[in-house]
Amino acid sequence: MDMTGKTVLITGASRGIGAETARVFAGAGANVALVARGQKDIADLAGEIGEQAIAIPCNVANSREMAASVDATVETFGGLDVLINNAGVIEPIAHLSEADPEAWGDVIDINLKGVFYGMRAAVPVMKARGGGSVLTISSGAAHGPVEAWSHYCASKAAANMLTRCLDKEEAAQGIRAIGLSPGTVATQMQREIKSSGINPVSQLEWDVHIPADWPARALLWMCGPEADAWCGQEISLRDEDIRRKVGLI
């Protein structure tokens, strides 16, 4: 995909999938807006990428900050073509009956409300320009229960439904809403899962996790017409045919 002249806003851009996605899209010619709470990390990444990047400190769980991030992106680059809802957390991992209610709710605020706030701020801007893509990082946890992940499973299942709702409401206006379930990825989140020692996912060996640039490259492919068949749905990187289409095999 040639993204020259396109602008992409990436949440959770300070590390992991988000940071690799910024590098991949910038390499394809896109302007990238790096959104995250880690100010130094996104500033360093913007410095690495150069003039194509802007760092925007933001808590995605705050609707006003998310709207301001979209405004800053449009002011800097003149528009917004792709929103990548990547920001997500899994800590604290705990059984439902023992979970701290406030901490449980914080995960919902980031993983679910953050996705809605991004969509709410970005979609009107995209519609005014004739359309755009809203790509949201999902998970196998959206479709099946995992021990001690009630907050994560619930938030990812709900975020998947937001993708489906957005497609139903806005596809006719040129909005392409697609989810990406990457599988297990070698990121800091997997280190947190590993250290918990709870459920089979924490027992996986490190070398079974895919590198963070795989979902990043998949997200770039999803901006092209070949991914149109998955609008309103979710793409899984566990699917060998998808990996082949993206160029990962």
The one catalytic residue in 139, 156, 181, 236 is: 156
The one catalytic residue in 14, 69, 133, 138 is: 138
- Specify the pLDDT at position 196: 86
For residue range 192-203, what is the model confidence (pLDDT) as tens digits? 888 888 888 887
- State the DSSP H helix or E strand holding residue 66, giving kind and residue range, or none if neither: helix 63-77
1, part of any domain:
no
The one catalytic residue in 14, 117, 152, 155 is: 152
Residue 231's domain is classified under what CATH number? 3.40.50.720
198, part of any domain:
yes
156, part of any domain:
yes
2, part of any domain:
no
Domain containing 135 equals 7-246
106-125 as b/e, with b when 16 or more CB fall inside 10 Å?
bbbbbbbbbbbbbbebbbeb
- Bridge-based pairing state of the strands 82-85 and 53-57: unpaired
27, part of any domain:
yes
Q: What is the DSSP letter of 147?
A: T
22, part of any domain:
yes
88-98 as b/e, with b when 16 or more CB fall inside 10 Å?
bbbebbbeeee
Distance from C-alpha of 106 to C-alpha of 82, rounded to nearest angstrom: 26
Number of domains in the chain: 1
- Specify the pLDDT at position 212: 87
Residue 156 a catalytic site member:
yes
CB burial of residue 178 (10 Å; 0-12, 13-18, 19+): buried
Residue 202 a catalytic site member:
no
Q: Which residues of the chain have pLDDT under 70?
A: none
- Specify the pLDDT at position 210: 77
Q: What is the pTM of this model?
A: 0.94
Residue 6 a catalytic site member:
no
